[in-house]
């Protein structure tokens, strides 16, 4: 083994197994394929080890069966950092024609690693693992893993691992070698603690402890520390203490600028080096201390290689911060916080900064400081920073900052918002317990729903359709959940259909329910259109009053605008049409005793049928049919009438028929039997009228001409 690498050569010879003599290799790396004479037709080529091949020929009838073991090995990762783990995946295969008993894998671990675990039980002796697999069938493959950790102080470039497999049923062993590259990395982290926390009196001592932590995974080599101390006034470095390592000499005279160089040597992974720098000053001053650490070992994170600190003398400002805010807020509403900062002294607090973190779900609206200026982060201004300048010591003087945010409209009610604020200063604060404040606010929900309703047409004709346009809007501040429109239809109407931004159903007679789901804040709202049919029998002048109510599971602070009513006047219109028809019949001419020739003829019977149809759309009320009979009453007489008709035999010679109403689409029929004592063409005119408006008077009159003649014997 050289340079920490283990190199294993193949075995020079293999011991004889139970199934035949040993196969001997003349030298390492030589071809180990040996033909078995006499059976050239049954030859198996078996690869054993690295680049070694043997040919075995056997007669199927007289040769014993043999196992053929092979091993492969793979390492993850290909390049490992010193101090981290390697996983070896080992696969053992018996490709022979019989089982392999007492199979043993021997894994020779390279120097510089420690065994951690294996997926099957393995015996460990220094540097070697013995893993017993038992019996492998033919064919059969067994896989397992071995995990090791590279020493954190390993300095080699690679690790070579050799594993081999043996069995008394296989006359030669198989081996596999893997090589893993090794690199080093040490994450050095620098922190600094400077004391005292409160200003020290002039002439007293303060110090900064510098902690150099090696977070690994490898040891850090050749670690050096540079510590730069600066001040506006003279100061003195009293002494330096380091462990481990050494530091350069310190100045004997006061200075305003000093750089301390320390050599810390090797810092093992997971350990720490400490340097303490003790300083003093004879006057009021602030000593700023910036330390930087370096190493010849690669550092994956240089962001933590620098630390700053400060020791103040005679300066002390006890800042306190008080924060107030709303205890509850509606989702979508505004939230106002008031931050009060007081300097309780004894010194002036210099470069005072207030930082405020808006809660998640709250967007920045505005910030108003009483003194100084503020900036806010983007895009939503979640982090505020206000520079208040220098605050003089005065326990009775307080400066304030007002912060306004807007809560997201979809924030779940019941959420608790925490707003944190902290004040800091370039002047040391002897009491940090009162520089931070947090205000909890519980989120509620409130949605001011409103609804409007417009009818069309108005007035509406009985028997036709009426459309309602309903708009539901949410003035906020929160989104409204589970919004429902409930529309109570007026008597005399029936639901036809709906359209728009909702699903509507007729839940029960006279009520339509529309589900809108979540209604976001905004003036546009959601529009739903309902179509109803106005009954044809609704009286003229009726007022249809339709009300719709919007509701939600979200509380509504103003419910006075949750209902809208549309009143529609009903007009009626019935298109009446009349049609007259005449049918002639004959009667026997019976003789009479009268000397008047006219009395000898009873006349001809004509059936006059008057048909009235209501073409709608409304029912017709108070219908009157007038039929002016032809000729004179002595020529045309009324033989019989329906009960709804009367006959005026006077000068008007008119039959009048009436009906209280006629439904839209309905028909009335009046059959009038006439006795006519004349011959020739006659003209009959019938008219129909109603107290309901008729849009088409052209079909309200029917005039017919018909012939009457006597039957000849």
Cα atoms found within 13 Å of the Cα of residue 266, Cβ hemisphere only: 9
Class of domain 575-708: mainly beta
Options 2.60.40.1530, 3.40.50.300, 3.40.1260.10, 2.40.128.260; CATH for 186-313 is: 2.60.40.1530
**Contact assessment for residue 387 and residue 351, using Cβ atoms and an 8 Å cutoff:** yes
Residue 380 confidence class, pLDDT cut points 50, 70, 90: low
Check whether 131 has a pLDDT greater than 50: yes
Question: Distance between CA atoms of 133 and 104, rounded to whole angstroms?
Answer: 6
Query: In the CATH scheme, what is the code of domain 43-183?
Result: 2.60.40.1510
- CATH no. of 447-571: 2.60.40.1530
Helix (H, G, I), strand (E, B) or coil at 434: helix
Mean pLDDT of the chain: 85
Identify the CA nearest to 82 among candidates 136, 18, 156.
156
User: From residue 706, how far is each of 34, 401, 548, 680, 703 by CA, in Å?
Assistant: 133, 104, 60, 8, 10
Check if 186-313 and 317-444 are the same fold. Answer: yes
Percent of the chain at pLDDT > 90 equals 68
- Structure confidence at residue 15 (pLDDT): 30
Residue among 342, 341, 309, 339 nearest 324 (CA): 339
Using pLDDT thresholds of 50, 70 and 90, give the confidence band for residue 164: very high
Q: Which residues pair with 100 in a beta bridge?
A: 136
Rounded to whole angstroms, the Cα distance separating 166 from 259 reads 65
Query: In this predicted structure, what is the pLDDT of residue 171?
Result: 85
pLDDT at 590: 40
Q: Which pLDDT does position 379 carry in this prediction? A: 56
Distances (CA, A) of 638 to 488, 604, 654, 677: 54, 12, 10, 11
| pLDDT number for residue 711 | 63
Residues 6+ apart with CB under 8 A from 15: 22, 171
28-37, 144-153, 379-388, 454-463 — which is least confidently predicted? 28-37
Averaged pLDDT for residues 185-193: 93
Q: Domain 317-444 falls in which CATH fold? A: Immunoglobulin-like (2.60.40)
**Full-model pTM:** 0.51
Burial 485-511 (b: 16+ CB within 10 A, else e): bebebbebbebeebebbbebeeeeeee
**The dihedral sign for the CA sequence 109, 114, 115, 117:** negative
| Residue 30 to residue 10: CA distance in whole angstroms | 10
Q: Is the pLDDT of residue 627 over 90?
A: yes
d(CA 680, CA 689): 30
pLDDT digits (tens, 9 = 90+) for 422-475: 999 887 787 889 999 999 999 999 999 999 999 999 999 999 999 999 999 999
Which pLDDT score, from 0 to 100, does residue 318 have? Answer: 85
- Where in the chain are the domains? 43-183, 186-313, 317-444, 447-571, 575-708
pLDDT exceeds cutoff 80 at 390: yes
Per-residue confidence at 32, pLDDT binned at 50, 70, 90? very low
Has residue 317 got a pLDDT over 90?
no
Lowest mean pLDDT among 7-16, 192-201, 670-679: 7-16
| Cα angle value 186/189/190 (rounded, 5°) | 140
- Given a cut of 50, whether residue 490 has pLDDT beyond it is yes
Give me the phi and psi of 379, to 5 degrees please: -85, -15
């Amino acid at each position: 083994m050289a340079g920490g690498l283990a190199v294993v050569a193949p075995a020079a010879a293999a011991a004889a197994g139970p199934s035949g003599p040993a196969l001997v290799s003349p030298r390492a790396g030589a071809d180990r394929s040996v033909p078995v004479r006499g059976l050239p037709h049954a030859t198996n080529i078996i690869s054993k080890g690295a680049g070694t091949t043997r040919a075995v020929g056997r007669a199927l009838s007289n040769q014993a069966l043999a196992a053929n073991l092979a091993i492969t090995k793979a390492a993850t990762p290909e390049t490992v950092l010193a101090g981290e783990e390697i996983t070896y995946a080992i696969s053992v295969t018996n490709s022979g024609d019989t089982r392999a008993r007492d199979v043993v894998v021997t894994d020779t671990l390279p120097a510089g690693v420690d065994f951690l675990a294996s997926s099957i039980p393995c015996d460990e002796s220094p540097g070697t693992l013995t893993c017993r697999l038992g019996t492998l069938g033919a064919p059969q493959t067994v896989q397992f893993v071995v995990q090791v950790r590279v020493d954190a102080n390993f300095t080699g470039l690679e690790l070579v691992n050799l594993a081999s497999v043996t069995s008394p049923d296989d006359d030669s062993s198989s081996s596999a070698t893997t090589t893993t590259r090794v690199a080093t990395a040490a994450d050095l982290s620098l922190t600094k603690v400077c004391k005292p926390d409160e200003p020290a009196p002039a002439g007293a001592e303060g110090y900064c402890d510098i902690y150099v932590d090696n977070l690994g995974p490898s040891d850090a080599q050749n670690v050096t520390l540079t510590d730069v101390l600066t001040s506006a006034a003279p100061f003195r470095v009293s002494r330096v203490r380091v462990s481990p390592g050494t530091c350069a000499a310190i100045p004997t005279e006061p200075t305003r600028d000093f750089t301390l160089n320390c050599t810390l040597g090797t810092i093992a992974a997971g350990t720490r080096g400490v340097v303490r720098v003790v300083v003093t000053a004879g006057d009021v001053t602030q000593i700023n201390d910036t330390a930087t650490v370096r190493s010849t070992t690669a550092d994956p994170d240089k962001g933590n290689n620098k630390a700053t600190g400060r020791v103040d003398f005679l300066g002390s400002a006890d800042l306190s911060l008080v924060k107030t805010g709303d205890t509850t807020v509606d989702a979508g509403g505004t939230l106002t916080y008031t931050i009060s900062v007081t300097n309780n002294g004894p010194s002036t607090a210099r470069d005072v900064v207030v930082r405020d973190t808006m809660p998640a779900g709250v967007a920045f609206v505005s910030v108003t400081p009483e003194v100084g200026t503020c900036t806010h982060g983007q895009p939503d201004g979640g982090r505020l920073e206000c520079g208040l300048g220098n605050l003089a010591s005065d326990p009775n003087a307080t400066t304030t900052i007002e912060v306004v945010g807007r809560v997201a409209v979809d924030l779940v009610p019941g959420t608790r918002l925490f707003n944190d604020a902290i004040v800091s200063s370039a002047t040391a604060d002897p009491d940090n317990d009162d520089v931070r404040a947090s205000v909890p606010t519980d989120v509620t929900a409130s949605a001011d729903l409103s609804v409007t309703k417009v009818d069309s047409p108005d007035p509406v004709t009985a028997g036709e359709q009426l459309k309602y346009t309903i708009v539901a809007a949410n003035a906020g501040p929160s989104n409204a959940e589970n919004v429902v429109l409930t529309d109570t239809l007026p008597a005399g109407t029936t639901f036809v259909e709906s359209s728009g931004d909702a699903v509507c159903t007729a839940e029960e007679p006279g009520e339509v329910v529309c589900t809108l789901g979540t209604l976001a804040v905004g003036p546009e709202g959601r529009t739903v259109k309902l179509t109803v049919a106005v009954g044809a029998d609704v009286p003229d002048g009726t007022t249809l009053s339709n009300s719709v109510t919007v509701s939600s599971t979200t509380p509504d602070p103003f419910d006075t605008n949750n209902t809208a009513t549309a009143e529609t006047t009903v007009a009626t219109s019935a298109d009446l049409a009349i049609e007259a028809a005449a049918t002639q019949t004959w009667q026997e001419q019976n003789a009479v005793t009268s000397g008047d020739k006219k009395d000898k003829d009873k006349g001809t019977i004509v059936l006059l049928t008057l048909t009235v149809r209501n073409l709608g759309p409304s029912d017709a009320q108070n219908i009157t049919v007038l039929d002016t009979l032809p000729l004179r009453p002595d020529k045309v007489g009324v033989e019989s009438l329906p009960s709804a008709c009367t006959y005026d035999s006077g000068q008007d010679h008119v039959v009048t028929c009436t009906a209280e109403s006629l439904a839209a689409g309905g028909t009335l029929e009046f059959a009038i039997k006439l006795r006519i004592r004349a011959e020739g063409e006659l003209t009959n005119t019938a008219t129909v009228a109603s107290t309901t408006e008729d849009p088409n008077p052209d079909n309200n009159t029917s005039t017919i001409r018909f012939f009457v003649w006597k039957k000849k014997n």
